[in-house]
Structures are given as structure tokens and as C-alpha cells.
Structure 1
Amino acid sequence: MAGHSHWAGIKHKKGIADKKRGALFGKLSRAIIVAAQNGGGDPAMNLTLRYAIDRARKSSMPKDNIERAIKKGCGDMGGVVYTEILYEGYGAEGVAVLCDALTDNRNRTAGEVRKCFEVHGGNLGATGCVSWMFERKGLFLVPAENVDEEALFEVALEAGAEDVKAVGPGFEITCDPEVYDDVDAALEAAKYATEMAEITRVASNTVTLDVAGGRKVLKLIDALEELEDIQSVTANFDIPDDVMAEVESE
């Protein structure tokens, strides 16, 4: 899985995130609602719900909001039924892009996603056109400051992680999604801070972009991230540090 750390690195370089806390909480609530709809409201028996709740807590989402989302998902408070959809397409320079969506209106969301791709020099593709390039993994980024690599390696691997490697100013840990909770708990127990802890898609290969391509692709990613129905965006590109500095100088 050469290059699978690049997207995580790009997200930290660019700071891709929801601009408003209200928008972030809305997306987190949807994830909890859908998880509860599909697997019930007990996080002990529903791994997807447990992960969604954990993400919400780490984002400082209020407990009442979390509990309300679970109740909505279980049908206790009525509300909208959301559908999970994966949109696939290509950005500039042939970059593969995946968009995870939770929507109550497929036509609206598909139209918004298609427009984003078209405006920013890409195109929305058919199901399966790029998803084969990605694999779901648990991914953790641990800052290197005051961290002993051998000790971190031991903690992570004993918890079930697949790999620990130095990446830039930190360490990257990957694992099978099934042991994500175990690795997360082990890192927390050992008091290792994490800049990122999530189950995501990682690419088997990457496309290295120049300044022009980098600007186009990052604008596409930003536009997709801003859509209310989009939960997350993943892509298989890399932008070298010197190129990123020029991209951000625009």
C-alpha cells in the first residue's frame, strides 16, 4: 500500500475541515443516526455506532446532541431517513476521488456532487470506477515529540495494528477496521496523543501533482467537503511540500 499516508498528510497540510462547528455537528449527527438505523442503538453491539459516537466526542459534540441522534436513528423521535451513498469520480490529472454521503434526497445530492466535479475540471464516474484503488483501514497519526518509536511500535502491534512507520514529523499506524477500537484504546491507555484517529480509505498508489494540478484538485475537495450531504472525501494524490507552499501562496 505504497503512498497510503499521502491523503492524511495533505489533510493536515491544507487543514481540510468543516469551517463551522454547526456544520460539523450536523454531519456527525447524521453518521450516528444512520448507524443506529442500521444496527440498533447499543454501541456495545454496534461497532459502526460506537465509532460514530467516538468521533463525535473527540470533536466536542455535546452529550445531548449525541443521545438525540441515537434516539432519532432508533425511531424514538421520528425524523428523516438517510441513505448511504458512495460517489466516485476523477479530478484534475486523473486523481481518483471518493465521496461518502448520507442523504435524504438522492437526486439533489447527485446533482450537487456532479456540478462540483464539472466546475473544478473533473467528472463524476460510474459505481466502481475508482473504489477498487482504495482499501478501508484504521489510521492513526501520532506526533513524534517525546515518543519512543520502539515503545509505540510495541503498544500498537500488541493491540493488533498492522504497521507503524515514521511519516514526516510523526508516526503513522494502520490497522484492520475490526481492531480499530482495540488500537485506539491501547494508544489512549499509553497516553499517546493522536492528531488523527479514524477509519478511512487509503489508496494503493498516488498521483503527484504540480502547482496547477494541486490548486484544481484542492478546490474540488474543498467544494465537495462544503456540501451538507457529504460526510468525507478521499483522494489518491500527493503534493510535495515545496509545491504545497506555492499552492497556498495563491
Structure 2
Amino acid sequence: MAGHNKWSKVKHIKARVDAIKGKVFSKCAHEIALAARAGGGDPGMNARLRTAVDNAKAVSMPRENIERAIKKGTGELGGDAIQEVTYEGYGPAGIAFLVEMATDNLNRAAADMRTIFSKNGGSVATPGSVSYQFDRRGEIRLAASAIDDDRIMEAAIEAGADDVHSDGEEHIIHTAANELGTVANALRSAGLSLVSEKMVSLPQNLSVVSDVDTARQILKLHDVLDDYADTLNVFTNFEVTDEALEQLSA
């Protein structure tokens, strides 16, 4: 999602509900394990792990869960290694989807993706047939209450960010893919506390959906994919019109 419409607010509300359900803990654990596997289990020496741990603490993930996820990533707990994989697909009305996962069973995940897409009016696509429609960018989020719009704009641009926008609840900063860590560290050095820091895939062009039934189908597919146990992120290129959102929420 581009993050500039009402659906972005819907997603943030859903994220808070998911935190209560514990689903967000699973995603944090996967990211922590992946970071620990890639760069070791010491957050002080592994920037990606430090960010993953900070993100987990931000949603009040218990310390023992964090430590277990680190050990899972470093192999101290044994079991199958967690692997990163991205599935590409199309939903209703040809809407593009990218689903980033962390899984210890690639065969199961692939089969589940085929089932989820087919049952929700979509289909899994071949690698590369969808991803070219997205740009890989770095994304940093801060609470809007932490700093005013003008100051975060100045601080972010000075740190090397490409653009900044706010939705009333958060400041969202985008960077070049290879500048995410540099910009994030510069903001931390300026005394700012980050809510999240991650790589995202932003659509080059948005497909506007005005039909309520189609929007409902697309949102359902998005939710099912997002709720899948191994999912880390779901990126898509649709934007629902204000009129359709109002009817959906009525």
C-alpha cells in the first residue's frame, strides 16, 4: 500500500488489534530469528537484530519471547532453519500482491499460498511477474507526538531521506534501499525514538478500486494473507476510493 489513503489508517487499527491477539508477536519473532541467523545474536553488533528487538519491545513483546527468537535464529534451539521467501500473486481485478514470509517449511508455505489465492479470487504468479511493479525502499516510522511536522522534515532530509509524510498518528520516512540504516542511525543520534525501521515494496502505480464488492474481496484476500502464521509483510497496489470505504465501514 502507498500509505496515503484511509486504508492506511484501517491497517494501523488492525495492527493494534493484532497486537492484542498476539499475531504481531509471531511476526516480530520471525524477524528477530532471521536477523540473528544472518548477523549473529548480539544486538550490539547486528543492526538488523537491534532494530527487530526494538520493534518487538515497542509492541510489548515479552523478553523471554525475544530471547527465544534470537536462539531460534542462531540455532541454539535446534529444529529446521527459518528461511525468507517472497511469493507473488494477483488478486481480484488483477491487483498485484507481494507476500514476504519467514518459514521453516517452504513446501507447506507454497501450497498454502496457492490455496489462499485460489480461494479468494486470485492466483500465484511466477517470480518476477509482479515484483517489477514495485520499488524497494527503506521505511522508518516515528510517533507523530514525538516531533512536529516541520522538525521531522528537516531532520529526515538532513539525515539523507528521500521524503516524509504524516498521517496524524505517525511520521513515515522513506529512503533509498541502501540508505535505510544510515538514515535510521542519524535519527537515533538526533535523540529520536523509532517505532519501526524496515524495507518495504512501494507500488509504482496504484490501481483505484471503486466497486464495493471488488474492494471487499481484495481486502479479504489481504487480511487472509496478512494473518497467515509465517507472513512478515504484504504489499499490494490497490487504493480503495473514499466512497467505497465509507460503504464498507457502514
Alignment of 1:38-57 (within 5 A): 38-57=38-57
Alignment partner, residue 180 of structure 1: 180
Residue 206 (structure 2) pairs with residue 209 (structure 1):
no
Residue 7 (structure 2) pairs with residue 10 (structure 1):
yes
- The structural deviation recorded for 1:199 is 2.8
Alignment partner, residue 63 of structure 1: 63
Change in CA separation of 1:136 and 1:50 when aligned onto 2, cut-off 3 Å = farther
SS of corresponding position for 1:175: strand
- The structural deviation recorded for 1:94 is 1.2
Alignment of 1:68-107 (within 5 A): 68-107=68-107
TM-score normalised to structure 2 length: 0.84
Query: Does the 8 Å contact 2:73/2:82 carry over to 1?
Result: no
RMSD (Å) for aligned C-alpha atoms: 2.9
SS of corresponding position for 1:86: strand
Alignment partner, residue 159 of structure 1: 159
SS of corresponding position for 2:22: helix
Range with bigger deviation, 28-37 or 16-25: 16-25
Alignment partner, residue 239 of structure 2: 238
Deviation per residue, 1:146-204 (Å, 9 max, x gap):
96543222111112211124667875421134443454455567677877654321111
Range with bigger deviation, 191-200 or 238-247: 191-200
State the percentage of identical aligned residues: 37
> 5+ unaligned residues in a row in structure 2: which ranges?
none
- The structural deviation recorded for 1:19 is 6.2
Query: Does the 8 Å contact 2:92/2:217 carry over to 1?
Result: yes
As a proportion of its length, which structure holds more helix? 2
Distance in 2 between residues matched to 1:128 and 1:189, nearest whole Å: 38
> 5+ unaligned residues in a row in structure 1: which ranges?
none
Distance in 2 between residues matched to 1:123 and 1:84, nearest whole Å: 21
Name the count of aligned residue pairs.
Answer: 246
- The structural deviation recorded for 1:238 is 0.7
Counterpart of 2:124, as a letter, is L
Distance in 1 between residues matched to 2:76 and 2:142, nearest whole Å: 39
Query: Does the 8 Å contact 2:141/2:194 carry over to 1?
Result: yes
- The structural deviation recorded for 1:75 is 1.9
- The structural deviation recorded for 1:52 is 1.9
Query: Does the 8 Å contact 1:28/1:52 carry over to 2?
Result: yes
